[in-house]
Structure 1
């Protein structure tokens, strides 16, 4: 027993604090005045209207955070087409989106320079272009901060503030790069072992296949049982194999159970009331002491699944060092590939990282994450996490948690998962899993690979880790492990949508597609297979249908076709049920083109600008506002699939000018650059059949012979 003596000058509060320290009680008497996660407040991005001088060759845009970032901040933006004056925005569109980025510790200001070349270098006062900075994590959008929607870059004769870069640029560190020494734990994949409780039959620890509370899903959206082959005979959630290069791996296998769902067995061996239609796969390192640590680098070598709703993850949670029980929070989602779960990305380069914080083993107080498309960060555009072997790495240091792919940083967080109480665990343990989370238990879950291939797992203590700047030029070389796994290891995935539609009186001609080279055939079981022909290279054909005389099995004009794809490399097959809906179209003669009175440059009137008549029937677009025309909706009473909008355009100026066609609500239908002195026909297809409005924009262009034609698809 430890005896403490309290001095006369101590306050009651200090005595309680010392009692907490001395007694090491589970629930301290005194609530901590602050928590590690209190710093997790994202900044706002301040964007000022940017002014540049006439003839500027760059637009230097300044973004400012209103507080120091506690995690990586990325702001993607692009140039908005159609809202410019004078500028040719086609020349301003990069192959990848523009990006402003901050890391913890960076200065608050960040400059991004947009080159102004060609005709854009000859700007005059009054020109402008719009920058859009909101949206999903993609070609535009932001993560790690809050930003406004858009702003303009304006050309003015005398900018209030000169648009130049500062003499000393704000500090922004380079991405970090891992340099690793010797791993203290390097999984022997040839002798990889697992069990339900993480204990070998002969004694000793191994990977655990069940969650702390059993084999059921870890998330309410999941619909898969985390099976193991002993508790659930006939299941195969973990399969050892060797690839064509002689490398051992473990296949974390998911599938839809054939026939009836599986009954979940509780941890005492009794049946439960829970039944699951799908097989998930789980591996936890919580009983392996060498993998349970406070700091260091945890490294997974893997190939991720590409099947829709196969939710693969490499993550970490707290662990009780005595009982080896999982403690949540804390949680680090090192790598997640959602494959359409939550409506998320379904890309071969997508990763997502999230920290979950709160009182250890209590309630989660916050979850802060960020998605990443690797090529936007600087990685090689050809990286394929679904077919190549890559590394997912988590570096936990004293102050920061940093996430890497192939040794290159993708994001960093302040370490908000430190123990808030002296008695909290300081250790993390790794988890690998592939959850199955379709929106319905009726989902076939059979397209592509639903498996994560584990090629290795390692742990490095910080003494074997060095962080250096990533100095290589972008795009960074593909860091995959070669050679790639053989294509025969991956089943094909039919990428054509299951829901197809077209109008009657049109011949059917659909090219069915897959993610690999396949041969095609009709598979028995499609109710309306006999109505169609399918070539071996995937062309689905049929003569035109009559909506009023359906010939599908249940006469509802929805034709069900079951197709089979056979991968030419592996010989593996997959099927998919396609449903082709035939849509009604007006009977009798149909207009091939609206008449001159229904769409021209005189009647009905155009709004938004004034045309100037020219010789040869041309009309000059005098300014860069949008000219709009709405024709009589009663001209054609039945909607068509779409409309083809076409106009003859002549560019009399000395520089290339953009011609933009619009449909209703100023949605861009087509944008085309017209070279100096060139005459072209510009055509675009509206996106819906109910459009009764068209528009055109193009400063200084001459236009004539506008037509709007119904299109049948």
Structure 2
């Protein structure tokens, strides 16, 4: 949960290979493929006093290749690649122009970028609808993919010297922004920019590959203040608040605080994790709290812990402004590292619970975070996924020795090299509250209909 336990949470801004064509086409969500390909092969638990990003030695290191990189026991990660757009030319009379999108080095993680065409200027301008067809699309680079792609822009009509532009809608997710605008020119005297062809990995589909180790079902799911080898905990190791995150809610337990609305209850839909405005404020550590948050923490629930394997939740998200739902993993040896499987930043004005998803990893040691890397994705545009507060959707992560891969509704949404070799993980699911407002719109409840843990060798 972006090092929530440490109080150093950082808000976001919004291997089989097959031959494919790497051209992004208008209206597509990513990259068109000419052949199907099989696939290869996020929160924290220490103390509220843990410190933020270390200002010591650099934790990300430039590298042209990931082979042999020293992750220093989860404290270092290669630098982000730099993504740039390139100028392009096409012949007058051509029906399409190809615009290059490039990375300057191998990326350790998925890179996602939104690109849109822009009309030209002055007398040489080309205009959308008259001279070319608008392109507003997403380009995705996955780890191991070629470093150059092309975006195809349909041309209607153009004469010598006319031009238009293409630009990044915002900084790329998972990469550093390089050249953000490129010019596309009709030029009979220059060689036309060609479509990129090559190989790249198709997105994986989630399927458990390990042995089922834990299945959260109504009849056997238990919780208590501190938890046990067969119980979830309703608190964190350091207590029931995360004020360093700016949170305003107290993580409540109905067995401890009498008279509150039930923060946990089973219905026909699943386990309801209920946040609330407290009818009577509760004082904790000398501070009065008006809001009730909820957490289930598996730091002592041994069956839910794995080193390598998969975690899968099926849940319906809240949509209340100020709610902060999350599924995350923390190392049993202490925070960091951390893997955020899903986060919903409902306290941010831009956040759309039905379209946005977030995933992050945090590295470091001894309570000091040395890096974080992740993404917030407009999942409807990128993957055709939406409605996360309207119905139940699956959120999964696959932790293997080479890569960590995230999935929503079985579709791969993000991947990172795994810098955390030999760590064991425990899961946390929670809905935090971060608001000073009424906190009454929509629903503040997350309903979990399934949670399973699979262990791999």
Calculate the TM-score normalised by the size of structure 1: 0.52
Distance (whole Å) between structure 1 residues aligned to residue 218 and residue 302 of structure 2: 18
- Asked whether the 8 Å contact 2:311–2:396 carries over to 1, the reply is yes
SS class of match (1:69): coil
Counterpart residue number, 1:195:
224
Q: Secondary structure at the match of 1:333?
A: strand
Contact 2:117 2:166 in 1 (8 A): yes
For 1:46 and 1:165, the matched residues in 2 are separated by: 17
Q: Which residue of structure 1 aligns with residue 332 of structure 2?
A: 319
For 1:375, what is the secondary structure of its paired residue?
helix
Equivalent residue for 2:282? 262
Match for residue 286 of structure 1 among 279, 299, 305: 299
Residues 109 and 82 of structure 1: is their aligned pair in 2 closer, same or farther, counting only changes over 3 Å?
A: closer
Assess, with a 3 A threshold, how the Cα gap between structure 1 residues 77 and 142 changes in structure 2: closer, same or farther: farther
* Alpha-carbon offset, residue 61 of structure 1: 1.2
2:45 corresponds in structure 1 to: none
Distance 1:33 1:127, change over 3 A: closer
- 5 Å matches for 1:104-119? 104-116=143-155
Residue 380 (structure 2) aligned to one of 353, 370, 375: 375
Quick check: 2:83–2:177 contact (8 Å CA) kept in 1?
yes
Q: Distance in 2 between matches of 1:285 and 1:109?
A: 43
Change (3 A) 1:150 1:142: farther
Tell me if structure 2 keeps the 8 A contact 1:238–1:250.
no
Q: What TM-score do you get using the length of structure 2 for normalisation?
A: 0.79
Distance in 2, matches of 1:158 and 1:406, equals 49
**In the aligned structure 1, how far is the partner of 2:323 from the partner of 2:244?**
13
* Contact 1:395-1:402 within 8 A present in 2 as well: yes
Counterparts of 1:664-703 in structure 2 under 5 Å? none
- 1:233 equivalent in structure 2: 258
How many Å separate the matches in 2 of 1:33 and 1:403?
Answer: 23
SS in 1 for 2:381: helix
Q: CA deviation at 1:134?
A: 4.0
Q: In structure 2, what is the Cα distance between the partners aligned to 1:150 and 1:453?
A: 43
Counterpart residue number, 2:30:
none
Alignment partner for residue 429 of structure 1, among 423, 426, 429?
426
The offset of 1:34, in angstroms, is: 5.8
Aligned with 1:172 (options 176, 200, 214) = 200
Residues 394, 376 of structure 1: alpha-carbon distance in 2 compared, 3 angstrom cutoff:
same
- Structure 2 counterpart of 1:337, from 328, 336, 344: 344
Q: Cα offset for 1:80?
A: 1.9
Checking the alignment, whether the CA contact within 8 Å between 1:237 and 1:254 is kept in structure 2 is no
Report the Cα offset of residue 42 of structure 1. 0.5
Does the 8 Å CA contact 1:250/1:453 hold for their aligned counterparts?
yes
How do residues 529-568 of structure 1 correspond to structure 2 at under 5 angstroms? none
Structure 1 residues 237, 72: closer, same or farther in 2, change over 3 A?
farther
- Confirm or deny that 1:388 pairs with 2:395: no
Which of these residues, 410, 413, 429, is aligned with residue 410 of structure 1?
413
1:210 aligns with 2:210: no
C-alpha spacing 1:237/1:132, structure 2 compared with 1 (3 Å): farther
1:308-346 CA-to-partner distances (Å, cap 9, x unmatched) read 0101000000114xxxxxx100111110111233x4422
- 2:442 is aligned to 448
* Structure 1 contact 133–142 (Cα < 8 Å) conserved: no
The list of structure 1 runs, each at least 4 consecutive aligned residues, that deviate by more than 6 angstroms after superposition, is none
Q: Distance in 1 between matches of 2:382 and 2:71?
A: 34
Q: Does 1:52 align with 2:90?
A: yes
Tell me which of the two structures has the higher relative contact order, counting C-alpha pairs closer than 8 angstroms and 6 or more residues apart.
Answer: 2
TM-aligned CA distance change 1:210 to 1:63, over 3 Å: same
Q: Kindly name which structure, 1 or 2, has the bigger radius of gyration based on alpha carbons.
A: 1
| Alpha-carbon shift at residue 389 of structure 1 (Å) | 0.7
Paired residues in the alignment total 384
* Distance in 2 between residues matched to 1:46 and 1:436, nearest whole Å: 38
Q: In structure 2, which of residues 245, 249, 256 is the aligned counterpart of residue 220 of structure 1?
A: 245
Deviations 1:201-229 (A, max 9, x none): xxx52111100111112642110000111
Distance, in Å, in 2 between the alignment partners of 1:404 and 1:34 is 24
Distance 2:313 2:343 in 1: 12
Tell me: CA distance 1:162–1:93, structure 2 relative to 1, closer, same or farther (3 Å): closer
| Alignment-derived partner of residue 355 in structure 1 | 361
CA distance in 1, matches of 2:110, 2:322: 28
Aligned 8 A contact 2:307 2:424 in 1: yes
Report the CA distance shift for 1:401/1:332 in structure 2 as closer, same or farther (over 3 A): same
Residue 356 (structure 2) pairs with residue 328 (structure 1): no
2:180 and 2:361 mapped to 1: Cα distance?
27
SS in 2 for 1:170: strand
Contact residue 358 and residue 364 of structure 1 kept, 8 A: yes
Q: CA deviation at 1:78?
A: 0.4
Evaluate the alpha carbon distance shift between residue 82 and residue 219 of structure 1 in structure 2; reply closer, same or farther with a 3 A threshold: farther
Q: Which structure 1 residue ranges, 5 or more long, are not aligned?
A: 1-31, 265-271, 321-326, 420-425, 464-713
In structure 1, distance between residues paired with 2:279 and 2:121: 55
Q: What's the offset of the Cα at 1:105?
A: 1.1
CA distance in 1, matches of 2:85, 2:199: 19
CA contact (8 A) 1:101 1:110 kept: no
Counterpart of 2:63 in structure 1 is none
* Secondary structure, counterpart of 2:299 in structure 1: coil
Of stretches 169-178 and 211-220 in structure 1, the one that deviates more from structure 2 is 211-220
1:565-592 deviation line (CA, Å, top 9, x unaligned): xxxxxxxxxxxxxxxxxxxxxxxxxxxx
Deviation at 1:406, TM superposition (A): 1.4
1:382-440, Cα deviation, whole Å (9 max, x unpaired) = x3100111111011000111100011100000112335xxxxxx2101100101011xx
Q: Where does 1:289-304 land on structure 2 (aligned, <5 Å)?
A: 289-304=302-317
Partner-residue secondary structure (3-state), 2:404:
strand
Corresponding residue of 1:69: 107
Corresponding position of 1:477: none
